[in-house]
Structure 1
């Protein structure tokens, strides 16, 4: 599938649709209880193995997936090269009464979705000293506009330089613009750097850890040094809900909204009962509450849930509601991700994936993405 360029489609998006909004939230205590779980097998990704996949609803019946490290697979053996991130489309899952594996449709192997920047090592971030730059998304793009002529979104990625899995830099955060034209197009969106260093290395990487677009704002969560989350919001008054103008931003500091961006070390910005472990935020119509679903880290597939009446909280203490089978690789399971994009929007159920690893006959890691549906009481 071919990519579209940003410049050719921005104006066309104005033909229909509007910046996303939703009704006012209400304050209500929520205690999620699982009614049933359904196993849909693993995502079908022909000819490749992919790590840590996130998703967002791109059109009415089309879901955009973006995954981390991707490798070709031949005869069940992972081969080179390693692409730092790739994208796919899928449809929606089958009904709970007829669960079938969900197939992701991808362009020819080798297509990097979020491009690396000029000062990162070519090719694909691999440096001659054995280190690498990675364009790893922690969450799905924040969709700010959907219309019959296309979709507009933004993604925040930390500019990470790794030795093995150890960080060797203090990363800044890059803002990417993700855009496509036509609700029926089979072409993947175009993703381009909008602003390099949008958040400096001394600021919170707002948007890296998740987002919710609602009530005229894009609420953007970012990790703090103490392993919790901080919150910013951008008014959706710009062109197609643009997130590129910092004058539209406010920051939740010491229990109030302010126009002044805090340092990441500000002790008044971490939100109680939050965690910077990879997860997903969304609004639940069923509970009339904001929801975070994520994991508790290596090496398991435990899923935790926390809810709040407002984006800033108060967030309930996260509790485990589902645990999936782990793999046999060195890191058996991780990257617990929720997928509201795969649901009908009622909030009556949620889909989950995580990364489950094994080793091929040459000792290379193979990634698998099990898909489960959880229905709530």
Structure 2
């Protein structure tokens, strides 16, 4: 069985925006205006890609995707750029949002380490694999007056067997940093460097792996509790992402510098996502924090939305607002994402763009435009 033709949901089943000044915040239930429009697909002519996410980087968008196949290589992750038109909308031409950028053929974008069987996709000699697949978009941090940026991604070090069961159901989580320079060439991708291979140790909450939102120079990082779809929350100042001593953790007792255990139910935040893949962001249009994502990990193209007045909640019960077209393969749709970086004012306007992975004879990434009432 090809790992590439096995969608990411099988991996996930084995484990359980831009800064802004906030005004009055409220929980609301957004309503779609008209019918969401599939405006095309995000695609690179050189690669077939699974499970893509995106982050706005100055005047372009950086995409990171999972298993990626070209005529010459198979990588467990790749990256790409896309452009905007002069009116600030995604540059879709003839139904295609063109992805571009030079990926090396010998190493994944989020490099697999030597003690994880190495190589371009983590394949081991005994038929197992280290599947280093990101769940959410990179977290952007301004680093200089020259418009340089660092982008952070937490990736679980998951070890799977040939039948896709997990050898380490609560693995450690690596922190990668991608460094963007405005002086780079057009096709050059910001190189991803491993900061810490076990930033979150084995059997701990993988904060940031489930998503993040940025507010008032602070990153709020979401992670899943053990054996459940329940979400926990940590926070850290943007200039201290790499310093674990700078983190605080939320429980029913409030914020603390002591991290809760993987099984601490007091850390649970009701309705902050469903456990299915998705995206957090802030919308000034609704004066609310927003989560958009899947109802569960599985074969579906359903999109749910929940909102809250603060990152801690209380979050509204997630409700369905859009269902995409199912693919023709046995597992035809999954990996739902929202893309505030593509949308008006980083998602703070009246619209949002969505994608998911659609599986037919090949993988594709439909791009959907949603306008709110």
What is the CA–CA distance in structure 1 between the aligned matches of 2:349 and 2:315, rounded to whole Å?
18
Does structure 1 conserve the Cα–Cα contact (< 8 Å) formed by 2:84 and 2:91? no
**By how many angstroms is 1:21 displaced?**
3.9
Q: Report the counterpart of residue 343 of structure 1 in structure 2.
A: 343
Partner of 1:4: none
Please give the alpha-carbon distance, in whole angstroms, between the structure 2 residues aligned to 1:185 and 1:72: 23
TM score, norm. by length of structure 1: 0.86
User: How far did residue 276 of structure 1 move?
Assistant: 1.9
Alpha-carbon spacing, 1:325–1:25, altered in 2? closer, same or farther (3 Å): same
**1:155-180 deviations in Å (ceiling 9; x for gaps):** 11101101143211131111111112
Aligned to 1:235: 237
- How far the C-alpha of 1:340 sits from its partner, in A, is 0.5
TM-score by length of 2: 0.87
Aligned partners of 1:141 and 1:154 also within 8 Å: yes
1:49 maps to what in 2?
48
The two structures, once aligned, show a CA RMSD in angstroms of 2.0
In the alignment, is residue 121 of structure 1 matched against residue 117 of structure 2? yes
Name the SS of the counterpart of 1:107 in structure 2: coil
Q: Describe how 1:135-284 pairs up with structure 2 within 5 A.
A: 135-145=132-142, 147-163=145-161, 164-169=163-168, 170-182=170-182, 185-186=185-186, 187-225=188-226, 226-236=228-238, 241-274=239-272, 275-284=274-283
Structure 2 spans left out of the alignment, 5+ residues: 1-17
User: Which of 72, 76, 81 is matched with 1:89 structurally?
Assistant: 81
Q: Report whether the alignment pairs 1:26 with 2:28.
A: no
Alpha-carbon spacing, 1:25–1:308, altered in 2? closer, same or farther (3 Å):
farther
Shift of 1:344: 2.1
CA–CA separation in structure 2 for the residues paired with 1:314 and 1:178: 33
Shift of 1:108: 4.7
- Find the aligned partners of 1:97 and 1:84 in 2 and give their Cα distance: 27
Kept in 2: contact 1:149–1:183 (CA 8 A):
no
**Contact in 1 for aligned 2:207/2:233 (Cα 8 Å):** yes
User: Using the alignment, how far apart are the partners of 1:339 and 1:21 within structure 2?
Assistant: 15
Figure out how many residues of one structure are paired with residues of the other and give that number. 341
Q: Which one is further off, 121-130 or 144-153?
A: 144-153
Change (3 A) 1:134 1:32: same
Q: Is the 8 Å Cα contact of residues 65 and 88 (structure 1) preserved in structure 2? A: yes
What does residue range 286-325 of structure 1 map to in structure 2 within 5 Å? 286-296=285-295, 297-325=297-325
- Work out whether 1:367 is the aligned partner of 2:369: no
Equivalent-residue separation in structure 2 for 1:286 and 1:299 (angstroms): 32
Q: Secondary structure at the match of 1:47?
A: coil
> Secondary structure of the equivalent of 1:268?
helix
Task: Call closer, same or farther: CA 1:56–1:132 in 2, change over 3 Å.
Answer: same
1:372 Cα deviation (Å)? 0.5
- Secondary structure of residue in 2 paired with 1:166: coil
Q: Deviations over 1:265-314 (max 9, x none)?
A: 00101110132211000010101111000012321100000000100100
The 1-side partners of 2:343 and 2:51 are apart by 20
Equivalent residues of 1:72, 1:109 under 8 A apart: no
1:285 alignment counterpart: 284
| Residues 132-154 of structure 1 deviation map (CA, whole Å, 9 limit, x = unaligned) | 11110000111121653411121
In the alignment, structure 1 segments of 5+ residues that lack a partner are 1-19, 74-79, 360-365
Contact 1:144 1:242 (C-alpha < 8 Å) held by counterparts:
no
CA deviation after TM superposition for structure 1 residue 190, in Å? 1.2
**Residue number in structure 1 paired with 2:11:** none
Q: Distance in 2 between matches of 1:98 and 1:192?
A: 31
Change (3 A) 1:58 1:183: farther
CA contact 2:157–2:173 (8 Å) conserved in 1: yes
Provide the rounded CA distance (Å) in 2 between the counterparts of 1:57 and 1:96. 11
Shift of 1:27: 3.3
Summarize the Cα distance change of 1:306–1:255 in structure 2 as closer, same or farther, 3 Å threshold: farther
Kindly indicate whether the alpha-carbon contact (under 8 Å) linking 2:62 and 2:82 is maintained by their aligned counterparts in 1: yes
